[in-house]
């Protein structure tokens, strides 16, 4: 039977989500190894691929489970007992046609950073930027909303069927000393969120301009593909 699981993980301990030939410390490989210990041999499919150092509070995966594993609560317990830095939050049975990636309608990411000093205990989970202009940041975030061709806002070397994505909502929150940026979209290209965050913050620092942002969005000229540090980025929610 096919099951859907929601997991959270500490991305600082892994070389990304996707399986790699040269590295064993990826989310996919670690989960599949844990499943094999329970006599479950299945490839897992994720709702999205997170880069090395990027975290997830609600990543969705799906995989096949033999029928002798009817007790999914016990399965969750055994996986969580074996895994470190990855936690299964829930496991439910789904239709055989369910696909974590292709069935998803929207994805939500959040980016957390501070302008004050970052504690040694926060370094793997929060990024740091200098003091910035909030009004400029909000304008830059609004410019990303809507349907755009994000060809100039993706990591080079990535190939996709189309670079057009729709960003339904952007949001900024300030909670005490923490600054949080949210993006909700139908999908994201490789490293797109990190590039957008870095671009928007650099506009707020007056290192880039809103005009340059629009030129890059309209494929007139690529001004920057700088990446925001991965430690501040979290895959927050998958909407089906």
Give the model's pLDDT for residue 58: 98
| C-alpha–C-alpha distance, residues 44 and 39, integer Å | 14
Give the model's pLDDT for residue 23: 66
Helical residues (DSSP H) of the chain, grouped into ranges: 27-37, 72-82, 134-144, 192-204, 210-217
198: annotated active-site residue: no
With bands split at pLDDT 50, 70 and 90, how would you rate the model's confidence at 153? very high
Q: Which domains does the chain have, with CATH numbers?
A: 2-93 (3.30.70.580), 106-239 (3.30.70.660)
Q: Which is the catalytic residue, given 25, 51, 62, 71?
A: 51
Give the model's pLDDT for residue 73: 97
Give the model's pLDDT for residue 160: 78
Query: How confident is the model over 149-158, as a mean pLDDT?
Result: 89
Q: Model confidence over 48-88: pLDDT tens digits?
A: 999 999 999 999 999 999 999 999 999 999 999 999 999 99
Counting residues of the chain whose pLDDT is more than 70, the rounded percentage is 98
The residues that bridge with 24 in the sheet, in sequence order, are none
Spatial contact of 208 and 196, defined as CB atoms under 8 Å apart: no
């Amino acid at each position: 039977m096919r099951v859907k699981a929601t997991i959270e993980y500490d991305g600082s301990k892994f070389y990304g989500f996707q399986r790699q030939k040269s590295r064993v410390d990826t989310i996919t490989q670690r989960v599949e190894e844990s499943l094999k210990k329970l006599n479950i041999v299945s490839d897992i499919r994720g709702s999205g691929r997170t880069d090395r150092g990027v975290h997830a509070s609600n990543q969705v995966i799906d995989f096949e489970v033999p029928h002798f594993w009817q007790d999914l609560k016990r399965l969750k317990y055994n996986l969580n007992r074996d895994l470190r830095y990855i936690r299964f939050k829930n496991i439910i049975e789904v239709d055989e046609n369910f696909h974590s990636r292709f069935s998803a309608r929207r994805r939500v990411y959040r980016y957390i950073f501070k302008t004050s000093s970052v504690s040694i205990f926060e370094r793997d989970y929060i990024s740091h930027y200098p003091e910035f202009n909030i009004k400029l940041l909000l304008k830059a975030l609004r410019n990303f909303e809507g349907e755009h061709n994000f060809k100039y806002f993706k990591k080079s070397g990535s190939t996709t069927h189309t670079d057009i994505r729709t960003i339904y909502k952007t949001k900024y929150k300030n909670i005490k000393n923490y600054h949080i940026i949210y993006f909700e979209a139908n999908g994201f290209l490789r490293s797109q969120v990190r590039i957008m965050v870095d671009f928007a913050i650099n506009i707020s620092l007056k290192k880039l301009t809103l005009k340059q942002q629009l030129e890059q969005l309209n494929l007139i000229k690529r001004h920057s593909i700088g990446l925001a540090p991965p430690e501040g980025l979290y895959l927050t929610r998958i909407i089906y």
